[in-house]
Amino acid sequence: MQAETGNAKDSGALFEQFTVLDQPNLYSRERCDDIQRLVEEITQLKREKDAVILAHNYQRPEIFEVADFVGDSLELAKRGAQVEQGTIVFCGVHFMAETAKILSPEKRVLIPDSNAGCSLAESVNAESLVDMRDELRQQYPDLVVVSYVNTTAEVKAVTDVCCTSSNAVKVVESVDSNNILFVPDENLAAYVARHTSKNIIAWEGNCYVHHQINPEQIEEVRRARPDIRVLAHPECRKDVLDIADAVLSTSGMMKFAREDDAKEFLVVTECGMSDRLLLEIPDKRFFKSCQLCKYMKMITLEGTRDALVEGRDEIKLTAELCDAARSSVERMFELG
């Protein structure tokens, strides 16, 4: 995708780019014909294999053509727990597919590329988390571990309650403790800390996509377009969130842009989100930060077709691990 050439320092050029859908070299006549054929093939395969496709908002636009449901992490987790089909193909990153497996262990969950990881999920492992938790509990016996869903199943298994970007403050406010170890996103932790009086102890992790966005890039766009509304994801740094008009999950951005009077939005998150917004709200303009998540973009239509044909890459978790991890996700549903 074009954003791979984006240079974070060259903010003027970054924000001038509109959306990937405007790039004729990426969606040539030939490529569109290929996409059409693949969409038909995948639609047929879904019926034959009793499969449903769930996709995250950051996916490539053509993935939305085959998805049965597109959403943010919370919506996808909820939907994953409810599907009737025997197979879930998850067009997103690995922790999202794992969450679907945790909630529906009897189903076959496939991810088109098992290398589609997440820098946040990689920044914490269960062993180090347990060490830190046990050490902190000597000082704070009531300490509760709140983990962002961007974590592995093993980390969820030693977590008290999960949260997502859309419910993090609510979850923290609802838990029965004043001392929270918040894992693994330091930026989301700092955002939550600004919205609660509780003691938030942050794990030192961040998303490589959001952490590199800086306020100068946003100010530059604002100077050129004073009426633009700036929507930022809470994985961004504090100096970025401080100058945003709204801090929202990916689906929160969709709702905000639909309902707000503004006609132009600067979408400060992974760049695929602006494509999704433009497809859903074509009468408004979306400028993007041009930060691409290389993991999300590992998922392709070809990979999705192959996943259905070959039954790969299947998420395999033991029943014990699913059971141990499930309670922290279900607790989030109850609290959030």
| 313 binds ligand SF4 per the rule CB under 6 A | no
Residue window 97-136: x/- pattern of binding to ligand SF4, with contact defined by CB under 6 A:
---------------------xxx----------------
Q: Which does 295 bind (CB under 5 to 8 A by kind): ligand SF4, ligand 13P, none?
A: ligand SF4
235 binds ligand 13P (CB under 6 A): yes
Nearer to ligand SF4, 143 or 155 (CB): 155
Residue 270 tokens read as 């992974």
Query: Cα–Cα distance between 41 and 30 in angstroms, integer?
Result: 17
Q: Which does 249 bind (CB under 5 to 8 A by kind): ligand SF4, ligand 13P, none?
A: ligand 13P
Cross-strand partners of 225? none
Q: Which residues of 36-59 are buried (b: 16+ CB within 10 A; e: fewer)?
A: eebbebbeebbeebebbbbbbbbb
The owner of tokens 């970007």 is 165
Kindly state the number of chain residues that form the binding site for ligand 13P, as judged by CB under 6 A: 12
Lay out the site mask for ligand SF4 across 15-44 (x = CB under 6 A, - = otherwise): ------------------------------
Instruction: State the binding partner of 72 from ligand SF4, ligand 13P, none, CB within 5 to 8 A by kind.
Output: ligand 13P
Cβ-proximal residues to 323 (8 Å cutoff; 6+ apart), any chain: none
- Of 133, 127, 129, 96, nearest to 111 by C-alpha is 96
Maximum CA extent, the chain:
64
Tell me the closest approach of the beta carbon of residue 113 to ligand 13P, in angstroms.
16
DSSP string, 168-185: HHHHHHHSS-SEEEEESB
Q: How far is Cα 272 from Cα 275, in angstroms, rounded to an integer?
A: 5
Minimum CB distance to ligand SF4, residue 32 (Å): 27
- Which of 209, 244, 266, 307 touches ligand SF4 (CB under 6 A)? 209
CB 295 to ligand 13P: min, Å:
9
Minimum distance, C-beta of residue 335 to ligand SF4, in the bound complex (Å): 22
The whole-angstrom separation of Cα 87 and Cα 50 is 6
**Count of residues that interact with ligand SF4, criterion CB under 6 A:** 13
